[in-house]
Structure formats: structure tokens, C-alpha cells
Chains A and B, each alone.
Chain A
């Protein structure tokens, strides 16, 4: 009964979003049907599209799993967008400047990306346990600092900006990574082909799911998140474990940046993060903080990103594509939020009854 109404809610929400999409697209002078078909073609039709969906899903999954770790400890790190950018920057710097055999540099770059994200998140974690600075605010504000940092780095030739050929207009982006420092791809175009990043993401998801469910670390993390006082009595050192969770979530975001860098874009540029950090948070939210559930949700979001990209290439203006995908994301998140709001309202109603009781007495 309850499951049925949840499904109904999802159907109604998606239906509503599609109606609005159709209305908007038609009003802008494009065919609603063609738009939907393009979305489908770009994400699910044929091996290449499916591969693209999977490639888009991998970093989303990594970000989501990291945020799940943090949420389990009762802390909300929402700065993944910035941690991802810093991670990718670190990875790019290593890949471009570190000498050595390709695969070794690749691994080093990925580890460096994770470390970069971790360090960026660590600022928020440290400030929280040292000076009680709110993690939500701090991690959020650090996103904007990270954006500026990235912009700075890709605009300075002594940092990450590409090596100029004389006379060339300088673009704020780095050189391409050498071929042997990229994540290998399985399969080949136009058949199904995917980057190996998704396997990294899946393996880590499985590991985190296991550790949270059965690990002593996961047990303590949950204890800390659900009742920090009982956890302290039981010997959980909140500063260590909590900061650790924040740092780890940053590492996952950083690694997501590393996977994007070495798996698909092969270079870093302004606006590199491209909302993957934010959307990863939505994935975690929709998966209700369950790592395994985050896999299909990440695929859904990945499909939207891939479909949106294809839609843009059919001539539909970019802003309209953004609105269309945003509406579909909204449709996917809405039921969760709606149910949460209803629960909150019910709580309010109870509180109101209690208040009335106070007036009566």
C-alpha cells in the first residue's frame, strides 16, 4: 500500500515534469517529441550512448558514496563541487608534471586527486572540530574558493595553462594528458565502450557498503551519527572519526574529479566540475544514503547528463537543455522531498496540538 503510493508519486511527478517540458519546448518553437527522442537517443540508444551514460554515472557515484559516508557520521559536507575541482587540479598537475612510466603516473594522479579533495574537505572538518565552524557553511563557501583557484591555475602558464604555440590565443585550459596516462577504455566506438573509471567507482561503492554495514568503523560511524553522546561514552573519539569522515568524503569527490580528468576530458579547464559535485549530492539524497541504491540512481542521473549533451548537439539551445534536465532531476527528487515535507508537517501538527494544550492549561 505504502510502496504503491510511493510508486504513484514517482509516476505523477515524472508525468508532471514531462508535461512542463513539453509545454516549454513547444513554446520555444521546437518539437517536444523530437526532444524526448533525442534525450533517449543520447542516453540509451546503442552502445555508444549507453557507454556515455555509464561514464557520466561513475563520478556521480563516487561523489554520492563519499557524501553517504559523511552523512552516516551525522555531518553534512556539501562542498563536493569544490573538492572535485581541487582534486582534478591536483591530478592534472601530477599527470602533466610528474615524470615516470604512464600507468604509474596515472595511479599517482588518481591518488593525488583523492588527496587533493581530501585536503580541501579537511579544511572544513578541521575548522569544525577545532573551532566549531559549521561544516555545511564552510564546505559550501570553500566551493567558491575552489572555483577561483581553478580559474587562477588554468590562466597561468607557469601553473596549468596549456603550452602556447606562438600566435595562438590562450584558452583557460590545460594541455591534454599524454595518451599513456589516461584510464583505458573497454570496447570501441560505435559499439558499447566504457572507461574503466566506472569499475573503480563500483569497487569502492561495494567496499564502502560492506564497511558501513559490517565494519567496526561503520558501526562506530553510525553510532556517532545517531547518538554522539552515547558514542562518546562508548569511547568513540568524535574529532578523529568525524573529521575522518569529512576527509574521506572529500577524497571520494577528489577521486571523482580524477576519474573525469583521466577518463573522459583528459584536460582541466574553467568550470571543469560542471555540477557533478552538486548532482552527486542529489544522488545520495535520492538513494536515501544507501550506497548500493546509489548505483541505479547515479545511472539515472548519468543518463540525463548524456541525453542532455546529445540534445544540445541537435541544435536545441543549451539553456533549454539545462531546463529540461533540471526539470527531470526535480521530478526524480520531488517524491523524496515531498514525503519528507509531509513528515515534517505531521510533526508540526503534533507540536501545534501540544501548543494548544499549553494554551488550555
Chain B
């Protein structure tokens, strides 16, 4: 079956690309997500699709997968016009996608996850054999009997990829595959991809906004901006700088470029000798122990200190307790043992509003969960915890609420039609600005920013990076929690590494050695 289809296609493969998208146009209301996009992906290549958030990459791929119908344009698979009106047609045409967010069931075993969505009888032995087979062929070894919950993020992604590959697609699309991986895991992934292309004759589209990845892993690259293709390059004949310029449409300053487009080379030597003078300790967490409601340990003896005017970067691989630190400083987590002190005074962890009252501002990692109330207006979101400022004697003054909102909207340059606009309607970058504006307006002693640039476009990333930097310059103690090493290296004066719920090492920015940092993030105290 497989060989016949390959043989059949082989005849015209010399001329026809694996996939060709011609004149694809798609609008959502007044927004044009794709504007006469031309994309041609040659057989047996890794093709990079580069662009900022909102450039139209995802829409284009959804059209290819049959999840979104284009308004105009056509798709050719192996030179044959194909109407992909349904995900099942895309699957039949051999197109598969590994999504950015995993769709695995943690409580099930690997082989169970791989067979999920299958019809008919479940053949356990065959499923396990299949996982092993696919794993060996591509170098994606993973034990079929392990529960997904016990796997590391990198291993989970392997399972996700095996799920795709077992159907033997000709074209594999990966959407931001490294967003949750360590450096080493990312490198491994690209080795696997290269192998799939060379040994198994697959074609791969790699969606990314990280330039390093594109440069290291792809053969050709198509760059999108504002819904249109702005450039096509042979990867070997371009460099990071040119790609960045095409992607953003202008030159980026060196230090924001690092965070925004994921290049680390510029960062290995520290920017300025920006070591802060020894301010007083504003935030001190001592030997914090905490468990999740289900008994899973979240923090195991975490200690750290942040001084006034410095930015402490808390680096680590996703899922090592960063969320718990953010929750702790948002009064959402109670401690079993240990203490939190702000400006020398103990703060009772977990008591509603206690951290905020003590002067801890938080830009949380998932702003929709604890950072804002999506169904309230922007003006209301700008005062959530500080109602007192805009009200007197039990009643909120609409006039003062509005004035307060207008002041912050101006000061923080938030793009919003009116203060009464529901928060839900704002773009991610503007929602993040609202959260940051509110937290800074409360004049915090300590500012915690967790994954502040996740899912934002370059403009918003630049903006936030600068704001956080300025906050520290104004004497606020900043704790930057991030899984993006580039982000930490850009901003932090000091770097601490979190692993399995504890800080296992610290170094000043000047002493940072990326390899050593990588090892520590992997759990080796070095």
C-alpha cells in the first residue's frame, strides 16, 4: 500500500512539489489572515515557516489540514489539485500535524495514547509493537507501557510524534515543537526530523518563530508577515539577521532580538556590566515545601532572595515548580513548611490577597487563569485588587474608574477602543499590558513576571522586556520566571535554576555558561 503510493507519486515527484498552495486567501471578518499566499514545499525537505504570532502561519496550516476553508486559492498535493474540505481528506492525502499543545491523556499508557481515536478492537500487543517499531525507525525510543504522566515533556512530544508517524504520513507539520523542550531535547528532535527526511523520504514543515531553529534545522524557509509571504530563502544562503529583518519588517535592537526571535549567540557574552548595587532584600522565600491537592509535591525546600533593583531570573524546564512559585506569590498556594518574607515582614501564604497587600505584584504565567477576568471590562480589570483607589463608602465611582483606566491606558500604551471594552476582546499583547499596568500601578515592592512574553508578538515582547527592565531600574525587586533561556539571559542580573521544586544553583549573569546552565536545568547540580 505504502510502496505503491510512493511509486505512483515517484513519476511526477521530479517536477511536482509535495505540496503547493496557490493564491490562498482567508479572511475572518475584516481581518485578512492569509492574503494570496503561495507556498511550495519540495519533496524530502524540511521547510521552515517563519513568522511572528499572528502572521498567518497557523491559519495557513489549518487550511492545509482541512480545518479551515480558504476563501480563494487551491492546493496541489504531489501535483494533483486536491480539495481538502475535511480533516479526514487531509489525513488520506498523507498530511499530519503535531500540535503545539499536546493532546495526550496523562493517566493512560503510551500505547493507549497512540491507539486513541482508533476504531474497532484494541489490539494491545500490536499497538505496543507498533510503538517500538516506529520508535526504532526514527530514533524515537519510548517505553510503550509507561504512563504519559510519568514522562518528561520531551518524551511526551515523542509520543505525540509517534502518534502522527504511525499513520505513515508523507507530510508532517510541526507547530512550534520546541516551545516546551530543553536545549538538548530540541537538538535531539531535529536529529530525528533529519532522519525522517533522509531515511524515510518524509517531507516536513516546521512552524517556528525562533530563528536559531530555522537556521539549524531547515533546508528552505518561507517567511510570513501580516498574512502574506514576504520572502523565500534557501537556508544555507541566509543568516539570522536577514531572517529577523524579514520577519519583523525592521531592524531589531540586539537585546530585544534575543528574546523576540530566539537567537542566543548575541547573548553568550553579557551585554553591559549591569550588576546591580547591593540593594536590601525585598523578597525572601525560605525552605518552601508545598503539595498539590492530590499529594504531588510541588515545592521541595525552595529558597531564594531577590534584592531591590535587581532582576533574578528563575530558569528551568517547564513543570519543575515554576507555576507553584507563581501561585505562592499570588496567594494561591499554602505552604506546608517554610516562609515568605516581603521587605523583612512575614506574609501568610495562601491567605487571599495577602501577597498583594504586602506589595507583591504578579504578572502570572497564564493571565487568563489568575491575571484577569475576561468577562469584565478593561477599566475593571485595571483595578481588580485596588478597588479602594476608585471608590468611596462602598460604591465604585464610575468617573474615577474611568479616569484611572484612561490614565493607565495612556501611560502603558494599551491599544483598546474604550475602557469599557471587555477584556476578552483584546489581543494577547494588550491583555498582558493591562495586567502589567495594573500591577505596576499598585507600586509594588516586588514584581513577579512569569513567562511574560509567551504567545506574544515581537512588538509586545520588546515592550514588555523594556518595561520589566525599567521596573528594576526604579528599584523594584524583580523575579523573572521563564523557560526561555534567551529571555532570562537578556534581562537577569542573576540566574537561579529551579529543578524538581527547589533551586539547585545560582550564578551571576557575568558567570553564565550556557552549557553548564543546560546541565543544571537537566537536574545535574554543577
Contacts and interface: CB of A to CB of B under 8 A. Distances in A.
A216 interface: yes
A163 interface: no
B384 A223 contact: yes
A143 B331 CA distance: 37
B398 to A, nearest CB: 7
A226 interface: yes
A353 B163 contact: no
Contacts of B67: 353, 357
A217 B394 contact: yes
B434 to A, nearest CB: 12
B440 to A, nearest CB: 16
Contacts of A235: 331, 352-354, 356-357, 385
Given A223-B384, A233-B385, A359 B88 contact: yes
B103 interface: yes
Given A216-B391, A216-B396, A361-B99, A230 B373 contact: yes
Of the listed residues B95, B98, B394, the one surrounded by the most CB atoms of chain A closer than 10 A to its CB is: B394
A359 B97 CA distance: 10
Contacts of B99: 361
Contact of A359 (B87, B95, B330, B355): B87
A214 B387 CA distance: 11
A215 B396 contact: yes
Given A235-B356, A360-B88, A360-B96, A229 B332 contact: yes
B148 interface: no
Interface residues of B, number: 46
Interface string A230-245: 1111111110000000
Given A232-B332, A361-B98, A223 B398 contact: no
Nearest to A217: B394
Interface stretch (B364-372, B404-412, B483-491): B364-372
Interface in B322-374: 330-332, 352-357, 362, 364, 369-374
Interface string A292-306: 000000000000000
B370 A230 contact: yes
A359 B166 CA distance: 12
A358 interface: yes
Given A216-B394, A356-B88, A230 B372 contact: yes
Interface string B75-107: 000000000001110110001111100010000
Interface in B372-424: 372-376, 380, 384-385, 387, 391, 394-396, 398
Contact of A222 (B88, B352, B376): B376
Contact of A234 (B97, B116, B385, B394): B385
Contacts of A227: 369-370, 372-374
B164 interface: yes
Given A226-B375, A237-B352, A360-B88, A215 B164 contact: no
B332 A236 contact: no
A222 B95 CA distance: 46
Contact of B353 (A214, A234, A358, A360): A234
A234 B371 CA distance: 9
Nearest to A238: B352
B117 interface: yes
B353 A236 contact: yes
Nearest to A223: B373
A10 interface: no
B65 interface: yes
A355 B373 CA distance: 28
Nearest to A240: B352
B352 A236 contact: yes
B387 A233 contact: no
A219 interface: yes
A248 to B, nearest CB: 15
A339 to B, nearest CB: 18
A233 B98 contact: no
Interface in A319-361: 353, 355-361
Contact of B384 (A234, A237, A357): A234
A74 to B, nearest CB: 11
B394 A229 contact: no
B371 A230 contact: yes
B352 A232 contact: yes
A235 B385 CA distance: 7
A220 B391 CA distance: 13
Contacts of A222: 373, 376
Contacts of A361: 91, 96-99, 103, 163-164
Interface string A16-54: 000000000000000000000000000000000000000
Given A233-B356, A234-B385, A235-B352, 19 more contacts: A214-B396, A215-B395, A219-B387, A223-B384, A227-B372, A229-B332, A229-B369, A231-B352, A233-B352, A233-B370, A235-B356, A237-B352, A238-B352, A353-B87, A359-B117, A360-B88, A361-B99, A361-B103, A361-B164
The 3 closest A-B pairs by CB, nearest first: A235-B353, A234-B385, A360-B87
